[in-house]
């Protein structure tokens, strides 16, 4: 049922099973945080775990904490927790590096196994980093990089090669059909590397059930792992030992503390670990994952859908163009609107305590993290947006001053 009044939004808040979790996050008073799709807010469990490892293990045991606090195995343990979020088997996920580095590793490792001519493919509307990695690696290896029109991936997979694809598009919030794409890949002997950055912690990915073999994703968005939190890397069991990482770092060795001059890859996904893990970031991420224990992802995604529907319906009344799938249609956790002066409008909203983000050239993005936002929050944000548009408040010169990070 469409939400057409603040009273309806308030009634939904009164029976929201996720409402109690909001108190486990630190969001400043007077702020409606609509950028959880870019950087999730800090949670109390994350701060507690971070403090325990910094002031406890590091301060007291120092180097001994690699054993006493289990630091050496922390990336794998946190990886197993993330495996639960993405519907993967234990032992198939590790935490390491960034999404960019992991894409490089996975594409390079997958190319020799893919059938057909060695080629890297990516759709033109993917996140720029993913395209940069695809093109840069193609130049390094001397193989073609084919830039596909949006929506053309599945048809191209019949020719084999390796495809980079996002589970949720960073700009439109459109959700990819992972099972359908994987079926197309198997028919053509292709391999797909999934970027899960805008999906993890929000939707039920069910990678194992849908036949996904390779993926990476960040942990600082809906997972709330913190700024610069490490990424994760997934390889389906049974495939990993056929892959060779292009960055054979010492901690990906089968016996790293033998310091053998000859590299021998570790068993399983651990072979993709290159260097020493960022323990304090891992500790914060480990704590952040406590929030997700026992949560039903269908509830998370359903709430995000309704929050997005409120936004889109009100935006349509304001004459704003919508890039995202419309009301009632499946989308990720954010909604993208277009206006020629999107940056100034976002700054005007921020002055009223409504924090959204802007993506060049003209996109206002509203992220609807279901763990921290209420239905009333979103309704009131759209009321403020309507006022800003009606009064043309955004035309004030102060809102045109560009910050380095938009």
Active site (annotated) includes residue 267: no
DSSP-derived secondary structure letter, 42: P
- Rounded to whole angstroms, how far apart are CA atoms 168 and 368? 14
Start-end of H helices in 318-406: 342-351, 375-391
Which residue in the list 292, 354, 365, 368 is annotated as catalytic?
365
3 state SS of 214: strand
**Strand ranges inside 249-362, DSSP E:** 321-322, 334-338, 354-355, 357-359
Which residue in the list 97, 154, 195, 286 is annotated as catalytic?
195
b (16+ CB within 10 A) / e for 279-294: bebbbbbbbbbebbee
Which residue in the list 165, 221, 271, 354 is annotated as catalytic?
221
343 is written with which tokens? 């940056």
Listed residue (210, 112, 110, 115) closest to 157, CA to CA: 115
401 is written with which tokens? 């001053």
Is the Cβ–Cβ distance between 385 and 353 less than 8 Å?
Answer: no
Which residue in the list 127, 222, 368, 375 is annotated as catalytic?
127
Which residue in the list 25, 104, 170, 220 is annotated as catalytic?
220
Active site (annotated) includes residue 365: yes
- Catalytic residue positions, numbered: 127, 195, 220-221, 365
């Amino acid at each position: 049922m469409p939400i057409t009044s603040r009273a309806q939004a308030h009634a939904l808040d009164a029976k929201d099973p996720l409402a109690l979790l909001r108190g486990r996050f630190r969001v400043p008073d007077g702020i409606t945080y609509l950028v959880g799709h870019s950087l999730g807010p800090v949670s109390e469990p994350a701060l507690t775990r971070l403090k325990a490892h910094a002031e406890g293990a590091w301060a007291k045991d120092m180097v001994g904490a690699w054993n006493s606090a289990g630091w050496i195995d922390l990336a794998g343990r946190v990886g197993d927790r993330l495996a639960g979020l993405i519907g993967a088997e234990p032992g198939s996920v590790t935490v390491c590096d960034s999404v960019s580095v992991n894409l490089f590793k996975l594409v390079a490792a997958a190319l020799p196994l893919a059938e057909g001519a060695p080629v890297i493919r990516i759709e033109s509307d993917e996140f720029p980093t993913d395209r940069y990695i695809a093109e840069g690696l193609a130049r390094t290896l001397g193989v073609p990089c084919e830039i596909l029109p949006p929506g053309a991936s599945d048809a191209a997979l019949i020719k084999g090669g390796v495809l980079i694809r996002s589970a949720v598009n960073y700009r439109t919030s459109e959700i990819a059909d992972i099972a359908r794409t994987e079926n197309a890949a198997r028919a053509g002997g292709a391999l797909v590397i999934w970027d899960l950055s805008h999906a993890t912690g929000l939707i039920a990915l069910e990678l194992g059930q849908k036949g996904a073999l390779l993926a990476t994703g960040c942990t600082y968005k809906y997972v709330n792992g913190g700024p610069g939190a490490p990424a994760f890397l997934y390889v389906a069991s049974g495939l990993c030992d056929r892959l060779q990482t292009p960055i054979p770092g010492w901690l990906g060795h089968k016996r790293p503390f033998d310091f053998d001059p000859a590299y021998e890859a570790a068993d399983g996904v651990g072979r993709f670990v290159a260097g020493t893990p960022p323990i304090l970031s891992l500790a914060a991420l480990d704590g952040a994952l406590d929030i997700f224990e026992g949560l039903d992802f269908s509830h998370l995604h359903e709430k995000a859908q309704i929050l997005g529907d409120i936004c889109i319906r009100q935006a349509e009344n304001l004459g704003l163009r919508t890039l995202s799938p419309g009301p009632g249609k499946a989308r990720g956790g954010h909604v993208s609107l277009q206006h020629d002066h999107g940056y100034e409008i976002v700054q005007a909203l921020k002055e009223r305590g409504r924090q959204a983000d802007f993506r060049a050239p003209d996109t206002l993005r509203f992220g609807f993290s279901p763990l921290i936002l209420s239905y009333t929050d979103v309704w009131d944000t759209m009321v403020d947006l309507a006022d800003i548009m009606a009064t043309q408040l955004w035309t004030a010169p102060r809102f045109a001053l560009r910050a380095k990070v938009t």
